[in-house]
């Protein structure tokens, strides 16, 4: 099972690669430790995963509150097309994925105006059409040798320093926007008309939520893969629900649950030699299950 | 939205005025050339058949729907307090009453307690919004509207989940609020008792046309009789006579 569809990389191989060139005498000791740490793929995976989880939790709360989980799935399914276009146009992948996500959401907003099909059905059409298109485009680019399985199931152990930078830039911008517009976003979530009368720019808020989810999908797909990225968004938020009495607490709890899941998932991946992405999702699911077992009186105050 | 000159505290100040507004959903006309004016300290009641476009007219006044023709003008510096029919308050979103009230704007604990007392809601500031009763929710929504210190209060079938006696009390409260806050009120209501005794002016929406006027004039209008029936008009005249003899 260690090389399940070649998801991730075998631990032993990876460990051999690390700590080989240790002759950078020009560096000060501290700088060398930092460099060595970031050289370690496990530490990079941990940092990248935690960065993605911190933003996925609070954004996931809005996905749960606004019942948008199928929308998240649709965006996740459009990732592959983004990756393919990123390679074709030679631009940063996370950026390409983000743009494709925005295009798919705008297309959905246009389609929503017709009244013959529900949004649910539209998402069902769009998710799989975009996914199929992604696979077809990838198949045309055989010379580039895209690791399809790596994108489907995530490849957190191959997170690079550039990836970490992208993850943290996206996460900071997203969290900044979230905190800045927190009250308006909440008001908009409870009742759009009431929020609009009270002066909240609701169209902007609607676009902002889509933007945030797109950003999280773009960074999260590196961590747990296209097929599991929604789990990083939904499960921590769902697990946080029974532990919170206010929306703020739920958002913070969701981030904490996400971070714990990443740490637990990565260590169990190391311990039992299982693929890291699914291990993270399962760790989050375990916390979710636990949140139902603990009596309310211990957690909801 | 065109601004109207703010004429200060006068009772004849026009808060909002819609002129000949028409609204269509696709090709289906919902409202055709409807005009409505709301003054300060005036309670205007909107009644009509199901599907006649009551909520659409309310949304137009609030500036939430796209007008096909006509225009809506608001007084300069208008603050609208809106009480919707219902809100999304399922327990997916953890939220206390206190937090919900503060979504409309910052407010001190004392301010919240005062307004809760004014609308007659009990000590439920720390209760979850998802677990309060329908009647309590109606009062909470009214409280959130009042926190904005509105000069126009818009209520869309506000007390639909309250029993008959609760309704009388709450409509009494609306009149009290009008007197205390000197605001105009637009209310969508099916409650005949309030429609005829509480409101200063009525707008009655039919399928294709509408009529408006004071409660005395409108009862004889054929459209009103279509909606509430001949009997009800008779009942009104009776209750009206009772009121007059009491005085």
For every one of its 301 residues, what pLDDT tens digit does chain A have, with 9 covering 90 and above? 333 334 444 444 444 444 444 555 555 666 666 666 666 888 899 999 999 999 999 999 999 999 999 999 999 999 989 988 888 888 888 889 889 998 999 998 888 878 788 889 999 999 999 999 998 988 887 676 677 788 888 888 888 888 899 999 999 999 999 999 999 999 999 999 999 999 999 999 999 999 999 999 988 888 888 889 999 999 999 999 988 889 999 999 999 999 999 999 999 988 898 889 999 999 999 999 999 887 765 554 4
Assign B237 a pLDDT band (cuts: 50, 70, 90): low
Q: How far apart are CA B161 and CA B165, in angstroms?
A: 12
| Alpha-carbon distance A200 to nearest alpha carbon in chain B (angstroms) | 10
Q: Which pLDDT score, from 0 to 100, does residue B98 have?
A: 92
CB contact under 8 A, A190 and B93: yes
Long-range Cβ contacts of A126-131 (<8 Å, 24+ apart):
A126/A74, A127/A70, A127/A73, A127/A74, A127/A77, A127/A78, A128/A77, A130/A74, A130/A77, A130/A78, A130/A81, A130/A100, A130/A104, A131/A77, A131/A78, A131/A80, A131/A81
Q: Which pLDDT score, from 0 to 100, does residue B28 have?
A: 80
Q: Which pLDDT score, from 0 to 100, does residue A6 have?
A: 40
Give the H or E element holding residue A216.
helix A202-224
Q: Is B37 on the interface with A (CB under 8 A)?
A: no
Q: How far apart are CA B70 and CA B19, in angstroms?
A: 6
Residue range B120-157, pLDDT digits in tens: 888 899 999 988 988 889 899 999 999 999 999 999 88
Q: Which pLDDT score, from 0 to 100, does residue A14 have?
A: 46
Q: Is B93 on the interface with A (CB under 8 A)?
A: yes
Which of A183, A193, A246 faces B95 most closely, judged by CB atoms?
Answer: A246
User: Averaging pLDDT over each range in A131-135, B16-20, B240-244, which range is the top one?
Assistant: A131-135
Q: How far apart are CA B174 and CA B200, in angstroms?
A: 13
Minimal CA–CA distance to B143: which of B179, B182, B100, B106?
B100
Q: In what order do the strands lie in the sheet with B210-213?
A: B80-83, B152-156, B184-188, B43-48, B201-205, B210-213
Domain ranges of chain A: 40-293
Give the H or E element holding residue B16.
strand B14-25
Q: Is B171 on the interface with A (CB under 8 A)?
A: no
B93 burial level (CB within 10 Å; 0-12, 13-18, 19+): buried
Q: How far apart are CA A160 and CA A40, in angstroms?
A: 10
Q: Which residues contact A239 (CB under 8 A, 6 or more apart)?
A: A253, A254, A257, A284, A287, A288, A290, A291
Task: Tokens 């636990």: give the residue.
Answer: A290
Residue range A28-60, pLDDT digits in tens: 666 666 666 666 888 899 999 999 999 999 999
Q: Residue B4: how many CB atoms within 10 A of its CB?
A: 16
CB of B52 closer than 8 Å to CB of B194: no
CB contact under 8 A, A245 and B128: yes
Q: Which pLDDT score, from 0 to 100, does residue A24 have?
A: 52
| Alpha-carbon distance A102 to nearest alpha carbon in chain B (angstroms) | 26
The DSSP result for B146-164, as a single string, is: HHT--SEEEEESTTTTS-H
Q: Which pLDDT score, from 0 to 100, does residue A179 have?
A: 95
Mutate to test the interface with A, among B92, B141, B145, B155 (most CBs of A within 10 A): B92
CB of B186 closer than 8 Å to CB of B157: no
Q: How far apart are CA B189 and CA B187, in angstroms?
A: 6
Residue range B35-55, pLDDT digits in tens: 888 988 899 999 887 777 888
Beta bridge partners of B78: none
Residue range B73-130, pLDDT digits in tens: 888 888 999 998 888 888 888 999 999 999 988 889 999 999 999 888 888 999 999 8
Residue of chain B nearest A61, judged by CA positions: B93
Minimal CA–CA distance to B126: which of A66, A300, A65?
A300
Residue of chain B nearest A250, judged by CA positions: B94
Residues of A in contact with B87 (CB under 8 A): 190-191, 194
Decide if domain A40-293 falls under CATH 1.10.3470.10: yes
Which of B87, B94, B100 faces A245 most closely, judged by CB atoms?
Answer: B94
Residues of A in contact with B64 (CB under 8 A): 193, 196-197
């Amino acid at each position: 099972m260690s090389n399940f569809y070649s998801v991730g990389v075998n631990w032993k191989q990876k460990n051999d690669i690390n700590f080989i060139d240790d002759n950078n005498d020009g560096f000060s000791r501290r700088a060398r430790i930092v460099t060595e740490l970031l050289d370690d793929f496990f530490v990079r995976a941990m940092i990248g995963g935690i960065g993605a989880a911190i933003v996925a939790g609070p954004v996931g709360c809005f996905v749960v509150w606004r019942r948008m989980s199928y929308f998240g799935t649709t965006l996740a399914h459009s990732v592959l097309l983004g990756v393919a276009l990123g390679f074709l146009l030679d631009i940063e992948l996370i950026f390409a994925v983000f743009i494709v996500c925005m295009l798919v959401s705008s297309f959905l907003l246009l389609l929503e105006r017709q009244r013959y099909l529900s949004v649910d059905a539209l998402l069902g059409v769009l998710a799989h059409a975009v996914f199929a298109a992604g696979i077809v485009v990838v198949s045309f680019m055989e010379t580039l040798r895209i690791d399809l399985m790596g994108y489907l199931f995530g490849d957190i152990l191959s997170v690079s320093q550039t990836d970490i930078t992208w993850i943290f830039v996206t996460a900071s911008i997203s969290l900044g926007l979230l905190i800045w517009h927190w009250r308006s976003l909440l008001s908009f979530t409870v009742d759009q008309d009431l929020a609009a009368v009270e002066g909240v720019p609701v169209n902007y808020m609607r676009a902002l939520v889509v933007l945030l989810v797109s950003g999280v999908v773009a960074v999260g797909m590196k961590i747990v893969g296209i097929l599991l990225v929604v789990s990083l968004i939904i499960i921590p938020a769902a697990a946080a629900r029974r532990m919170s009495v206010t929306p703020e607490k739920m958002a913070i709890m969701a981030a904490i649950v996400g971070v714990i899941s990443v740490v637990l998932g990565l260590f169990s991946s190391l311990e039992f030699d299982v693929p890291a992405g699914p291990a993270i999702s399962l760790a989050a699911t375990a916390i979710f299950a636990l949140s139902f077992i603990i009596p309310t009186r211990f957690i909801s105050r | 939205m065109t601004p109207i000159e703010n004429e200060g505290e006068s009772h004849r100040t026009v808060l909002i005025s819609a002129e000949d507004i028409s609204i269509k959903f696709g090709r289906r006309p919902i409202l055709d050339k409807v005009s409505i004016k709301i003054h300060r300290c005036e309670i205007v009641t909107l009644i009509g058949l199901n599907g006649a476009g009551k909520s659409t007219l309310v949304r137009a006044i609030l500036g939430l729907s796209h007008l096909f023709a006509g225009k809506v003008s608001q007084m300069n510096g208008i603050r609208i307090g809106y009480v919707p029919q219902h809100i999304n308050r399922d327990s997916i979103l953890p939220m206390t009453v206190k937090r919900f009230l503060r979504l409309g704007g910052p407010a001190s604990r004392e301010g919240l307690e005062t307004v809760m007392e004014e609308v007659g809601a009990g000590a439920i500031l720390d209760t979850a919004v998802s677990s309060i009763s329908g009647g309590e929710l109606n009062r909470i929504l009214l409280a959130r509207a009042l926190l904005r210190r509105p000069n126009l209060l818009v209520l869309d079938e506000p007390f639909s989940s309250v029993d008959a006696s609760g309704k009388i009390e709450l409509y009494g409260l609306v009149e009290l609020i009008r007197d205390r806050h000197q605001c105009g009120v637009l209310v969508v209501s099916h409650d005949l008792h309030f429609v005829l005794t509480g409101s200063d002016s009525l707008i009655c929406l039919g399928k294709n046309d509408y009529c408006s006027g004071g409660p005395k004039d409108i009862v004889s209008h054929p459209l009103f009789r279509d909606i509430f029936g001949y009997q009800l008009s008779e009942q009104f005249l009776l209750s009206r006579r009772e009121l007059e003899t009491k005085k």
